[in-house]
Structure 1
Amino acid sequence: MADEEDQNDSYDEKVKFVSKIAQPLASKKTTKKLHKLVKKASQAKFVRRGVKEVVKALRKGSKGFCIIAGDISPIDVVVHLPIMCEDRRIPYFYVPSKLDLGAAASTKRPTSCILVTPKDSFSEMSLYDKLFKEAQEALVQQHQK
């Protein structure tokens, strides 16, 4: 993952490349927390990486929290994920960069989406619960617009 200072400085730069449909987009502070959550969940093996794996997990009824990269091109690759998440009542956030999302997930490749599916033994459950609730509130606000 990029140096934290570089990540903070370039957040505004990365937002310029985000697709128009990437809503709700996580703020700079929330993005940092999401990357921390993904890193911890990845180390504990509580993540599903990539569109194919995330869709498969959603179809099987996995519960969790979805994080989608906003700079995916073509957008058709991930455009169906928010609908699938809403149908299954799974909150989601968009983050500005697929490179940072992949780095947080401990992979060398960019990652378009991640589903965090923690168990009770997950050490960062308080952070997960906080972000889960924040995503639900953001989705409610977006649907009211």
Structure 2
Amino acid sequence: MAKDKKDKKEKKVKSEEGSTIIRFNSPIAHPMADDKLSKKVFKTIKKASKAKHVRRGVKEVGKALRKGEKGLVVIAGDISPVDVIAHIPVLCEDSNVPYVFVPSKEQLGEASSTKRPTSVSMVVLGGQKKDLKSAEDYKEIYEECFSQAKKLDEALVY
């Protein structure tokens, strides 16, 4: 048991050059956000979670997509087993909602204002009540992330 804990800690250690070690990414994690877009997405999620305009988790995001809510879906790329999130990109494409993968579930959970790692988050501009007044502080960065995610989705060749 102690050996497993050491292995997990070694994965999070920074390399000698100062960059973080790349963790496992699932084979379906496309389009993956680059570092710059990831930072913008995390910043957007953090601001939206303060205004309570974020859906967290597979069940909640799946339900929102089936009900027809529009927003930006952010999926963690290091989820194992992949079956847990495999249906989310399909739901997004059916609903015409852009989605993007980020490298780490821990960072996604931290940005979503939870202590637990989160596999999927969805930023809904204005929330359920479409309260755009409280969305003013993150609307600009949200729209920028939304457009970049849409470009990544359109560039994806099947």
**TM over 0.5: same fold?**
yes
Tell me how far apart the structure 2 counterparts of residues 51 and 112 of structure 1 sit (CA, whole Å): 7
Aligned to 1:131: 145
Take 1:69 and 1:105, find their aligned partners in 2: how far apart are those partners?
Answer: 12
1:106 aligns with 2:116: no
Residue type of the partner of 2:144?
K
Letter in 2 for 1:18: N
Q: TM-score, normalised by structure 1?
A: 0.89
Greater mean alpha carbon deviation, residues 118-127 or residues 72-81: 118-127
Q: Deviations over 1:56-92 (max 9, x none)?
A: 1111111100000000000000011001001101000
Q: Percent identity?
A: 49
Residue 17 (1) aligns with residue 17 (2): no
Provide the secondary structure at the position in 1 that maps to 2:25.
Answer: coil
In structure 1, give the amino acid aligned to 2:73: C
User: Aligned partners of 1:48, 1:87: CA distance in 2, in Å?
Assistant: 18
Gaps of 5+ in 1: 1-5
Correspondent of 2:88 among 81, 88, 101: 81
Shift of 1:51: 0.1
Answer yes or no: is 1:37 the counterpart of 2:37: no
C-alpha distance in 2, partners of 1:34/1:83? 21
Query: Per-residue displacement from partner, 1:67-120 (whole Å, max 9, x unpaired)?
Result: 000000000000110010011010000000000100011100000000100112
SS at match of 1:62: coil
Q: Which residue of 2 aligns with 1:52?
A: 59
In structure 1, how many angstroms separate the alpha carbons of the residues matched to 2:156 and 2:68?
25
Deviation >4 Å, runs of 4+: none
Question: Which segments of 5 or more consecutive residues in structure 2 lack a partner in the other structure?
Answer: 1-13, 127-131
Larger Rg: 2
Distance apart, 1:38 and its partner CA: 0.6
The count of aligned residue pairs is: 135
